Amino acid sequence: MPLPSEPLRRLGFLTIGLFDGADPRPGHEATLALVELGERLGLDSAWLRHRHLQYGISSPVAVLAAASQRTRRIELGTAVIPLGWENPLRLAEDLATVDILSGGRLNPGVSVGPPMHYDRIRAALHPHTADTEDFGHDRLRRLLDFVRGEPASDFRGTEGFEVFSDRVQPQAAGLGDRMWYGAGSLASARRAGENAMNLLTSSVVKAEEGEDFAAVQLAQIRAFRAAHPGGAGARVSQGLVVIPTDSAGPAQRARYREYARARLPRTTAPQGPARLLYAPDLVGTSEQIAEQLYAHPAFREVDEVAFALPFTFEQEDYVQILTDIATRLGPALGWHPAA
């Protein structure tokens, strides 16, 4: 349980990778530049969100393939790939390929459930099988089996001059241990543990056993570890939105506070039919944010984080925030940058 006397072990960041639909390359390049900056700052990980039919990164695995060739140390993650859009066999091949290219640095985060707005995209996504697609646990199980080396075919051998494997190729050693699940409920947290995955928690949970965000998130973390073969040592990464203002200018600080103020009402009560609870954005000096984190029961249950960058800021804002996270907030939490 991290306390001010116990250091944060791993520090990373998460970004959505926004771009202009009329000119998408600069936005993608800006995302890659943030990953490179994260490595220079000594951060441990960089994570990309996944956005389909929006102006955010739709193919994080492809972008991370590019990032793998521009970096050498920082770990690269997805948070998260919605499996309802994917064929588990093909995704397993892509993940293994990027992991090989990165030298074993890929940390794929996934989730299950029907795709967002499924009624509007089902004809494009699954035109012949829309009514029979399984968006639940079986899809996750198939992906894990393929990544971890279970057979995908009943044939291996040689046909003519071609050699065939019965397993996904390439096989990426260790990738199966670096699979993460993005959970927002007790059931999904337990599922991640039962499948020996790592757990990604974010700034959104389901209000199942109360309306106190930190208490709900803490219960999910404990349920995950209770179900995981690794018990208390099972990996959990927390992903709250933090916006340190140490080196920000007056105009930036005003915009940051207004951003958090506009989003605050949604944190006061469960939202929508799913009863989603949102954590408030943490804005202030690194000292102030560290104090708030140490008062957060779920934060005290983890020793690694991937702080989420706000959705709609400018590149210079992200550079300032990342720099403050690495040089001010991280040290305030006892973290030390990688060599």
Q: How confident is the model at residue 5 (pLDDT cuts 50, 70, 90)?
A: low
From 178, 238, 186, 180, select the one nearest 207 (Cα to Cα).
186
Q: Where are the beta strands (DSSP E) in the chain?
A: 10-15, 45-48, 75-82, 106-111, 157-159, 162-164, 180-182, 198-201, 204-206, 236-238, 242-244, 276-278, 282-284, 304-308
Q: In percent, how much of the chain has pLDDT > 90?
A: 97
Per the listing, tokens 């936005």 go with 27
pLDDT of the residue at 6: 80
Give the number of other Cβ atoms within 10 Å of residue 176's Cβ: 18
C-alpha span between 145 and 96 (Å, rounded):
13
State mean pLDDT over 6-35.
97
* CA 86 to mean position of chain CA atoms: 17
At 80 the three-state DSSP class reads strand
Does the structure show a pLDDT above 70 at 123? yes
**Computed over its alpha carbons, how large is the radius of gyration of the chain?**
20
Annotate 117-157 with DSSP letters as a single string: THHHHHHHHSTTTTTT---SHHHHHHHHHHHTT--S-S--E
Q: How confident is the model at residue 303 (pLDDT cuts 50, 70, 90)?
A: very high
Residue type, 319: V
Residues 6+ away with beta carbon under 8 Å from 112: 82, 83, 84, 135, 136, 137, 139, 140, 188
* pLDDT per position as a tens digit, 135-178: 999 999 999 999 999 999 999 999 999 999 999 999 999 999 99
Give the number of other Cβ atoms within 10 Å of residue 157's Cβ: 9
Residue type, 82: P
Q: Is the distance from CB of 245 to CB of 324 less than 8 angstroms?
A: yes
* pLDDT per position as a tens digit, 49-67: 999 999 999 999 999 999 9
How much is the mean pLDDT over the chain?
Answer: 96
Q: How confident is the model at residue 339 (pLDDT cuts 50, 70, 90)?
A: confident
Annotated domain spans of the chain? 10-332
Does the structure show a pLDDT above 70 at 2? no
Helices vs strands, H then E, count in the chain: 11, 14
In eight-state DSSP terms, residue 271 is B
Q: How confident is the model at residue 220 (pLDDT cuts 50, 70, 90)?
A: very high
Q: In percent, how much of the chain has pLDDT > 70?
A: 99
Per the listing, tokens 């293994």 go with 96
Q: Where are the beta strands (DSSP E) in 137-258?
A: 157-159, 162-164, 180-182, 198-201, 204-206, 236-238, 242-244
Residue type, 70: R
State mean pLDDT over 318-334.
98
**Cβ-count burial 239-262 (b if 16+ within 10 Å, e if not):** bbbbbbbbebeeebeebbeebbee
C-alpha span between 72 and 75 (Å, rounded):
9
Q: Is the distance from CB of 280 to CB of 260 less than 8 angstroms?
A: yes
* pLDDT per position as a tens digit, 223-233: 999 999 999 99
pLDDT of the residue at 1: 42
pLDDT of the residue at 70: 98
Q: How confident is the model at residue 266 (pLDDT cuts 50, 70, 90)?
A: very high
Per the listing, tokens 């915009």 go with 255
* CA 54 to mean position of chain CA atoms: 18
C-alpha span between 206 and 216 (Å, rounded):
8
Instruction: Identify the CATH assignment for 10-332 out of 3.20.20.140, 3.90.1150.10, 3.30.200.20, 3.20.20.30.
Output: 3.20.20.30
Q: Give the angle 200-201-207 at the CA atoms, nearest 5°.
A: 140
pLDDT of the residue at 4: 62
C-alpha span between 15 and 31 (Å, rounded):
8
Q: Is the distance from CB of 294 to CB of 332 less than 8 angstroms?
A: no
* pLDDT per position as a tens digit, 251-264: 999 999 999 999 99
* pLDDT per position as a tens digit, 173-210: 999 999 999 999 999 999 999 999 999 999 999 999 89
Q: What is the pTM of this model?
A: 0.96
